[in-house]
Structure 1
């Protein structure tokens, strides 16, 4: 087995390897959210329904979460550099094909292929950065990687909005092509490939493990993406896929623990830090993607903003996180405990959530949300680096790749669970709030009568008959009721999200140091 110190880079080579890995991680993550603002244009030009066009997001997400757990194994089979370069090439070619798709199902297929290439970029980039830095500087390495992972989801919507507004939707895919070509050459010339034993023969490959993993993850991701719109378990397909996900998981765990050459090394979860880290990463993904998902919906559907404006709102938060990353890396290098930083991050994220809960109204301005979003950026910075470094801190050699695959998968699944649960809760809570608010607009109430009469007169002044004007007045009142009940449901989401993070803060402090040198910071326990 290769000495892992031989993978450490110094000077110019480390800078180039770091830039290459960050470029690839950014490419993958931006593409997760960049299409959100272009769905309407895609639907119009490809003649698709809203349900059909949602598959553009679903196909990419399913491919991502299937390939992420397998990346470490594939790197060992084909060589890290070869696999990373091939993934960039697949991603880049698929981006070109997405831009040239002539119908919606072509686009969905090419997005799936793009997701297969993209999922590998995220985890392999993390492994490359981790191994390119000496052990004592891995906190800084994760900080640099974290800048790409945290900033990426926020850059997607404004960049997508700009490209759609000024060019057309295919350009959200074409923008990947020059970056992909540059990253491919940089990978071939600068990235080292560790040697981890012999490759498996075709008959030794864990084909059943791959099939069970795809069944479990693919079914789960579909259920999470489409559960709410299909009324969850009332729908036979959602029910069938939920059963498939449960049995797929059970059989997959049994297979991987009993097969000699498993496609996913579950035994690496014996490491205490990694076990804790995967749970915390799941919660981090829940908060990161959940809050990134709900803010653009609130600003567009309630406040009437454009997609570009909604995306731009999140940029101060991303810049704050980016500025926090190297500071957190330095604090870890100086021996400040991961758990204290992560616990502070959970508390600060709670403050952000509670702040958003207290200021949301049907006409909140962007100036009201600026400072809460800056606080969000500080919280995410304090969470991402300590949790990621803690997860990989006591792993060695090939186990680092396996650990990175687990944390990457859990972050993506946390985001999927977060979006699915938030979507469901918004729908259910809005209905409940509407029922609670209805008694306040009784037709016999004098103030309600005055308002209805005022709206009715306004429509009559525009030339509508008395009956038509009255119907429209009731419709306006109903619209105001729905808007208010939706805002109340968003407020509830932020409150519950904040409470979830607040509960995690003391739990993190209970973490016992694991690793070979318990007296040292976890970053050195390698």
Structure 2
């Protein structure tokens, strides 16, 4: 009977942790498809409304690397429970915001609460599995990491098309309340949490402040650089200096101070360096492609937000089925390098195949590429989650895990920023090339304009207006073609990025975690 109860509690905790992690990751992308509606409702420009995304990302990427210290200072359960409550409260306030800047403020608060929902969930989840089951635990958690960013645009598109945008935030409330109650009731404190002596845990004020300034400024630059014309903008130049000085001071201080908030000395591990670089690459590919695809099919191919979201379901479904098998394979001793190599191959195939799409490509074309992305991300996420801590001491594992999660988020931020900038620049290039090929004495151009003009006249339009409208239609078609090609170039860039970073796989130790190490991961994780 006691065994059945323990099994039930284990299931409840696993569901709670995965749900909390997915909820946090959904909120990184769910707002993207609602910005137009938000700006219209709150009377703001679309550029100002983008702060709703930026504020959350900045808070998130600042808090994630600090979760190891905060868990140790407040106690893992206390910090996790408080973060869920803060995230839920901020979600309620976001949905009830009456102005844009009120919404931006609460999104920042939501990002602070959301930081623990990713890293700490991982540690709590791992505690529920035996050493020989850690591969499966990694598979389950990795599934949540991949599903979150993918399902965000799907859910957001459906809500925007059918309901008010505030529901994007309100749906977190019942989930957050349930997660808080289940955490309070079923998640046990670790042995060292009952008698926490905060006086014995010094606060690294310089490290925390320099990290906040450096990472916050870097995230702002990545989020707003394209819309603010990069270094042509004075604020971007100042923040670039702040990012360099802040991160430089942070690295120097954490490596020299006796009690760092984040122990960067763990980066001496070649395996952790390799895992973090490859995790950055994985975040770049995942978030970059998830950003490109819905924007492309909505702007160029005429999909509604709901249709673009539904087109991403195959990739999410195949990830759900693949993750547990990958985790089980790791648990049985399959070398991680095999999965990582397969993941790179599938991502390269995804990027290259997507870049070959024609303007009239149907949904089946993209289903194949989405499946490649889904399986490829799974093959990278699960092994890298496990490999990040191989060779680390138990006391260093929380720092290794939090750094690994931070590199994934930074990779995603770089991916989105670079894809946005690259697509914009390539659009200008392709449009210029297409315009240069439109010679006034070209008989095919004349036939095309005459055909459009006659068709409009046949519908009752004035001949002079019909000719002007024909030029407008041709210009729209030309811009549409240039934009499509620009997004396809973005997918090709992702493939090239993966090809260029293949050598970093050599940094990984070609081994699996033994049972003892997996047990230490569970004990030392957040």
Shared fold per TM-score greater than 0.5: yes
Indicate if the aligned counterparts of 1:153 and 1:292 stay in contact, CA closer than 8 A. Answer: yes
Q: Tell me the distance in 1 between the aligned counterparts of 2:201 and 2:24.
A: 32
Q: Tell me the distance in 2 between the aligned counterparts of 1:420 and 1:21.
A: 30
Q: Tell me the distance in 2 between the aligned counterparts of 1:154 and 1:54.
A: 19
Match of 1:113 in 2: 109
Q: Tell me the distance in 2 between the aligned counterparts of 1:37 and 1:424.
A: 19
Which stretch of structure 1 is more off in the superposition, 197-206 or 423-432?
Answer: 197-206
Match of 1:298 in 2: 296
448, 452, 475: which is aligned to 1:451? 448
Q: Tell me the distance in 2 between the aligned counterparts of 1:236 and 1:467.
A: 47
Q: Tell me the distance in 1 between the aligned counterparts of 2:379 and 2:462.
A: 60
Which stretch of structure 1 is more off in the superposition, 31-40 or 324-333?
Answer: 31-40
1:464 deviation in Å? Answer: 4.0
Match of 1:4 in 2: none
Q: Tell me the distance in 1 between the aligned counterparts of 2:314 and 2:516.
A: 32
1:454 deviation in Å? Answer: 1.3
Aligned pairs for 1:258-269 within 5 A: 258-269=256-267
Indicate if the aligned counterparts of 2:26 and 2:151 stay in contact, CA closer than 8 A. Answer: yes
Which stretch of structure 1 is more off in the superposition, 465-474 or 230-239?
Answer: 465-474
1:335 deviation in Å? Answer: 0.9
Indicate if the aligned counterparts of 2:222 and 2:417 stay in contact, CA closer than 8 A. Answer: yes
Compared CA separation, residues 504 and 340, structure 1 to 2 (3 A): farther
Question: What whole-Å deviation, never above 9, does each CA across 1:256-275 have from its counterpart, x for those lacking one?
Answer: 12222222121222222221
Root-mean-square deviation (CA), in Å?
Answer: 2.3
Match of 1:25 in 2: 21
Indicate if the aligned counterparts of 1:158 and 1:312 stay in contact, CA closer than 8 A. Answer: yes
Which stretch of structure 1 is more off in the superposition, 457-466 or 437-446?
Answer: 457-466
Match of 1:511 in 2: 508
TM-score normalised according to structure 1 size: 0.93
How many correspondences in the alignment? 515
Specify every segment of 5 or more residues in structure 2 that has no aligned partner in the other structure, as ranges: 522-526
Which stretch of structure 1 is more off in the superposition, 378-387 or 62-71?
Answer: 378-387
Which stretch of structure 1 is more off in the superposition, 74-83 or 150-159?
Answer: 150-159
Q: Tell me the distance in 1 between the aligned counterparts of 2:25 and 2:11.
A: 21
1:402 deviation in Å? Answer: 1.4
1:396 deviation in Å? Answer: 4.4
Aligned pairs for 1:342-357 within 5 A: 342-357=340-355
99, 102, 106: which is aligned to 1:103? 99
Match of 2:363 in 1: 366
Indicate if the aligned counterparts of 2:426 and 2:486 stay in contact, CA closer than 8 A. Answer: yes
Question: What whole-Å deviation, never above 9, does each CA across 1:32-70 have from its counterpart, x for those lacking one?
Answer: 111122222211221111111111111010010011111
Indicate if the aligned counterparts of 1:393 and 1:525 stay in contact, CA closer than 8 A. Answer: no
Match of 2:214 in 1: 216
Do structure 1's residue 493 and structure 2's residue 468 form an aligned pair?
Answer: no
Do structure 1's residue 283 and structure 2's residue 295 form an aligned pair?
Answer: no
Do structure 1's residue 92 and structure 2's residue 79 form an aligned pair?
Answer: no
1:206 deviation in Å? Answer: 1.3
1:198 deviation in Å? Answer: 5.1
Indicate if the aligned counterparts of 2:132 and 2:518 stay in contact, CA closer than 8 A. Answer: yes
Q: Tell me the distance in 2 between the aligned counterparts of 1:221 and 1:248.
A: 13
Q: Secondary structure at the match of 2:29?
A: helix
Indicate if the aligned counterparts of 2:270 and 2:507 stay in contact, CA closer than 8 A. Answer: no
Match of 1:36 in 2: 32
Q: Tell me the distance in 2 between the aligned counterparts of 1:257 and 1:13.
A: 41
129, 136, 141: which is aligned to 1:133? 129
Q: Tell me the distance in 1 between the aligned counterparts of 2:511 and 2:369.
A: 35
TM-score normalised according to structure 2 size: 0.93
Q: Secondary structure at the match of 2:508?
A: coil
Indicate if the aligned counterparts of 2:336 and 2:511 stay in contact, CA closer than 8 A. Answer: no
Compared CA separation, residues 148 and 515, structure 1 to 2 (3 A): closer
Which stretch of structure 1 is more off in the superposition, 39-48 or 312-321?
Answer: 39-48
Match of 2:524 in 1: none
Q: Tell me the distance in 2 between the aligned counterparts of 1:203 and 1:290.
A: 39
Q: Tell me the distance in 1 between the aligned counterparts of 2:85 and 2:516.
A: 39
Compared CA separation, residues 369 and 406, structure 1 to 2 (3 A): same
Match of 1:472 in 2: 469
1:334 deviation in Å? Answer: 1.5
Q: Secondary structure at the match of 2:358?
A: coil
Indicate if the aligned counterparts of 2:335 and 2:511 stay in contact, CA closer than 8 A. Answer: no
Match of 1:338 in 2: 336
Match of 1:172 in 2: 168
Compared CA separation, residues 135 and 521, structure 1 to 2 (3 A): closer
1:505 deviation in Å? Answer: 4.1
1:465 deviation in Å? Answer: 3.7
Match of 1:3 in 2: none
Q: Tell me the distance in 1 between the aligned counterparts of 2:74 and 2:380.
A: 34
Specify every segment of 5 or more residues in structure 1 that has no aligned partner in the other structure, as ranges: 1-8
Which stretch of structure 1 is more off in the superposition, 83-92 or 238-247?
Answer: 238-247
Indicate if the aligned counterparts of 1:515 and 1:525 stay in contact, CA closer than 8 A. Answer: no
1:17 deviation in Å? Answer: 1.9
Do structure 1's residue 406 and structure 2's residue 400 form an aligned pair?
Answer: no
Q: Tell me the distance in 2 between the aligned counterparts of 1:135 and 1:272.
A: 24
Indicate if the aligned counterparts of 2:283 and 2:412 stay in contact, CA closer than 8 A. Answer: yes
Question: What whole-Å deviation, never above 9, does each CA across 1:455-507 have from its counterpart, x for those lacking one?
Answer: 12233334444433222222211211111112222222222211222344454
Match of 1:6 in 2: none
Match of 2:205 in 1: 207
Aligned pairs for 1:426-441 within 5 A: 426-441=423-438
Q: Tell me the distance in 1 between the aligned counterparts of 2:126 and 2:390.
A: 10
Question: What whole-Å deviation, never above 9, does each CA across 1:377-426 have from its counterpart, x for those lacking one?
Answer: 11111111111111123334343321221111111110110011111111
Which stretch of structure 1 is more off in the superposition, 160-169 or 55-64?
Answer: 160-169
472, 479, 482: which is aligned to 1:482? 479
Question: What whole-Å deviation, never above 9, does each CA across 1:202-232 have from its counterpart, x for those lacking one?
Answer: 9931112111111111111110011111111
